[in-house]
Structure formats: structure tokens, C-alpha cells
Amino acid sequence: MIVYEVNLDIDAGAFAEYRAWLDAHASEMLALPGFVSAEIFECREPAPIAGRRQLVVTYRLADAPALERYLREDAPRLRADGIARFGGKFNATRRVLAPA
């Protein structure tokens, strides 16, 4: 099992629209081979700076090859969609976690 974590910092004025889009985006991710589950959390501590909201999305994948396939084949298109819709209204960082 691999956890693919996406940390999002979103302009508060765009948050409602972004959040609605993110639900559909997560569903699209879950339709990809190897994706098992997704959870969306709002970060409460540490508190975001004024005018910002923060979300963390954790995707669970069956294995590392599934993540590698996603990064190679689907990530460029899916990331470009978010950028096209929301431009500079959000920032994303990512981590990959594996069992110790």
C-alpha cells in the first residue's frame, strides 16, 4: 500500500468552488487503475494564514507501480486541469508514504 498525499493551500475566495471541483477530481482519480481510496481533510492546526484555507488529500494506492503509472500517464493532464481552472488561487505540494 502506498499513500499519495496532496497538501493544498487555497485562496479563501476560491475555496467553495475549488472544494466542489476537488470532489469530482478525487472521484476521477479513484477511477484510475490502482487507486483504492481517497480522503479529504481540512487542516486546522497549524492554522492557515489569513485569507487562505488548507486541505490535505490522501489517496491510497495498491502499490508503487500504480503510482508510477499515474505520475507518468495521468498526472500531467489532471494537474493541468486544476491549474487551468484555478491558476494562482492555490498551491499544491505532494508526498509519497510507504509502510516502514
Is the pTM for the entire model greater than 0.75? Answer: yes
Q: What pLDDT, on the 0 to 100 scale, is given for residue 97?
A: 98
Check: CB of residue 4 under 8 Å from CB of residue 94.
yes
Give the chain's radius of gyration (CA, Å).
Answer: 14
pLDDT digits (tens, 9 = 90+) for 81-100: 999 999 899 999 999 999 99
Q: 7 - beta bridge partners? A: 56, 93
For the domain covering 2-97, report its CATH number.
3.30.70.100
pLDDT digits (tens, 9 = 90+) for 48-62: 999 999 999 999 999
